[in-house]
Structure 1
Amino acid sequence: MGFAVVEEDTITTYEQIAEWWNKKYSQPNYWGKSFDEFQELLPSGTILEIGAGAGRDAKDLIARGYGYYGTEPAAKFVEIARAKNPGARFEQLSVYELEPAEYDGFWAAAVLLHIPRPRIQEALSTLRAAVRGGAIGFIVIKEGDGEVVEVQGDYPRLFTLWLDADFRVELSQAGFEVIKYHREVKSERTIWLRYIVKAI
């Protein structure tokens, strides 16, 4: 299945702003203690990242000793990520295109928030099929209710906002159990909901 129009627009936006994005959000250890909490539950193994962006988190995950496979639908991001992480494997691929596999863990930081609400179960179920039973995953979404298209200049991006209780229902239906949860007020307009989950 292809992309909805709002998804295509969001990917096009990231193609256009990839260089700027890389410079603005390239700081290491962006998710702080979440990396440590994740590794406590999964000390080693091979990680699947969806929405790898410019390869920022990939660098941290690889440095921690994980095997790594990054997927990202925006071609320009893939190009930047490969340049930043020589030897690491990145492919231009969306979450919907993942093949069934047995990855030990996954990383989905601030990416599922670009999935339209009616497709979140499709995305989560495809992700569940790509990891083994017992796999550990990290997910970050934004708190709120509804879908918002934010436009900066000429560049629109879809954000699907979630209430914790509603997102937990979706996770459970897809075969994930919440192990750790943290609500972070990042700014006046951004509240991150961080989840570490286990595939059941």
Structure 2
Amino acid sequence: MTKTLNYYNQCAEAYNETTLNIEFDSKREMLLKYLQPNAHILDLGCGSGRDSKGFLQNGYKVTAVDGSKELCKIASKNIGQDVICQLFNELDAVNEFDGVWACASLLHLPTNELKQTLKRVEKALKKDGYFYASFKYGDFEGERDGRYFNDFTEVSFSTLLKEFPNLELQEVEVTTDVIPGRENVSWLNVIMKKID
């Protein structure tokens, strides 16, 4: 994880420029259609703050978190509120959030750490809360382009989720990368509901 965080700390400005103004309303709608107005959303691994900004502009309450100190500084400016600098394994909220948004963030965790984080997210969600996550599509796990990646398919993610009976899969969508020049990259988008 250290190498991945170093990557984001060193490339924070470039990452911000690449991601901040991408049109992402339709992806956010995947989660928002399940939530009430003014719901409280945890943006877990908020990066540049693009999605936190979108949620705030639509009247939602947002808690934004990222593990990269440099991205936290940039995202705080972008969204106009403090971003909490925290690693996934430091999440300790209980029954606090109506929704959790983990866009292209949990994909940096090795499987054992991902399972621990899913337990923490489950605890942080209120009953009947919803949880969005996205992963690069495939079956690769390991280092790629200076970062750790854990890719999933519909089958491998469903298998992983069997260990979390309280997280019920609601929706799965495979989409194409929205960043220009990455049209050949596919993503697995999943929505889960905390049922107990």
Is the pair's TM-score, using the shorter chain for normalization, greater than 0.5?
yes
Q: Deviations over 1:103-129 (max 9, x none)?
A: 111100001110012222111111111
Distance 1:46 1:172 in 2: 27
RMSD: 1.5
Q: Deviations over 1:115-149 (max 9, x none)?
A: 01222211111111111111011111111113131
The verdict on how the C-alpha distance between 1:119 and 1:189 changes in structure 2, with shifts beyond 3 A counting, is farther
Q: Tell me the number of residue pairs that the alignment of Structure 1 and Structure 2 aligns.
A: 188
Percent identity over the alignment is: 26
Structure 1 gap segments, 5+ residues each: 1-6
Distance 1:185 1:47 in 2: 25
What is residue 194 of structure 1 aligned with on the other side? 189
Which secondary structure state, in structure 2, belongs to the residue aligned with residue 194 of structure 1? strand
Equivalent in 133, 137, 162 of residue 152 of structure 2: 162
Which secondary structure state, in structure 1, belongs to the residue aligned with residue 33 of structure 2? helix
CA contact (8 A) 1:29 1:57 kept: no
**How far 1:173 moved relative to its partner?**
2.1
What is residue 91 of structure 1 aligned with on the other side? 84
Q: Does 1:37 align with 2:30?
A: yes
Distance 1:189 1:8 in 2: 28
Q: Deviations over 1:43-70 (max 9, x none)?
A: 3310011111111111001111110001
Alignment of 1:110-129 (within 5 A): 110-129=104-123
What is residue 181 of structure 1 aligned with on the other side? 172
TM-score by length of 2: 0.89
Distance 1:180 1:47 in 2: 18
**How far 1:189 moved relative to its partner?**
4.6
**Paired residue type of 1:94:** L
TM-score by length of 1: 0.88
